[in-house]
């Protein structure tokens, strides 16, 4: 969706380079974290998740790193492609809310330069 009025952090990368998108979360009780990708005119799409008993998880071209000590999450995209251009959201949730309350970050806009 459009983001008029919201000044999202923006990351511009050259096609083929690696991208790193960072996220700070707020609730120390959060034990499940998700990264979503939202392209213009579409709803968020699940990319990868990680539970608090892990500090790294890899998918296809994506890696999520979790640092519980400083409450920091990152998404690494390898060999970034033009189709990766989108807004990326991290989200946190916790067993104490039965994982119903998913709290989303403000998002980072990734632009891939061909």
Partner 1 sequence: ETGVTQTPRHLVMGMTNKKSLKCEQHLGHNAMYWYKQSAKKPLELMFVYSLEERVENNSVPSRFSPECPNSSHLFLHLHTLQPEDSALYLCASSRVRGDEQFFGPGTRLTVL
Q: Minimum Å distance from CB 2 to partner 1?
A: 7
Count interface residues toward partner 1 (CB under 8 A).
Answer: 28
40 binds partner 1 (CB under 8 A): no
45 binds partner 1 (CB under 8 A): yes
Q: 61: which residues sit within 8 A by CB, 6+ positions away? A: 77, 78, 79
Q: What is the distance, to the nearest Å, from the Cα of residue 30 to the centroid of all Cα atoms in its chain? A: 15
Which of residues 11, 22, 31, 49 is near partner 1 by CB under 8 A? 49
Q: How far apart are CA 81 and CA 86, in angstroms?
A: 11
53 binds partner 1 (CB under 8 A): no
51 binds partner 1 (CB under 8 A): no
Q: What is the dihedral of CA 86, 87, 92, 93, to 10 degrees?
A: -80
User: Does the CA dihedral 84-87-93-98 come out positive or negative?
Assistant: negative
Q: Minimum Å distance from CB 39 to partner 1?
A: 10
Q: Quote the radius of gyration of the chain (alpha carbons, Å).
A: 14
106 binds partner 1 (CB under 8 A): yes
Residues that bind partner 1 (CB under 8 A): 1-6, 34, 36, 41-46, 49, 89, 91, 93, 98-107
């Amino acid at each position: 969706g459009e983001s008029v009025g919201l000044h999202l952090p923006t990351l511009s990368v050259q096609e083929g380079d690696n991208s790193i998108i960072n996220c700070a979360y707020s609730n120390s009780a959060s034990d499940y974290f998700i990264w979503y990708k939202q392209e213009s005119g579409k709803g968020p799409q699940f990319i990868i998740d990680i539970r608090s008993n892990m500090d790294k998880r890899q998918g296809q071209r994506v890696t999520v790193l979790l640092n519980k000590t400083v409450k920091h999450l990152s998404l690494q995209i390898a060999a970034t492609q033009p189709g990766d251009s989108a807004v990326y959201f991290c989200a946190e949730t916790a067993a104490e809310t039965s994982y119903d309350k998913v709290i989303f970050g403000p998002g980072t806009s990734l632009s891939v330069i061909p």
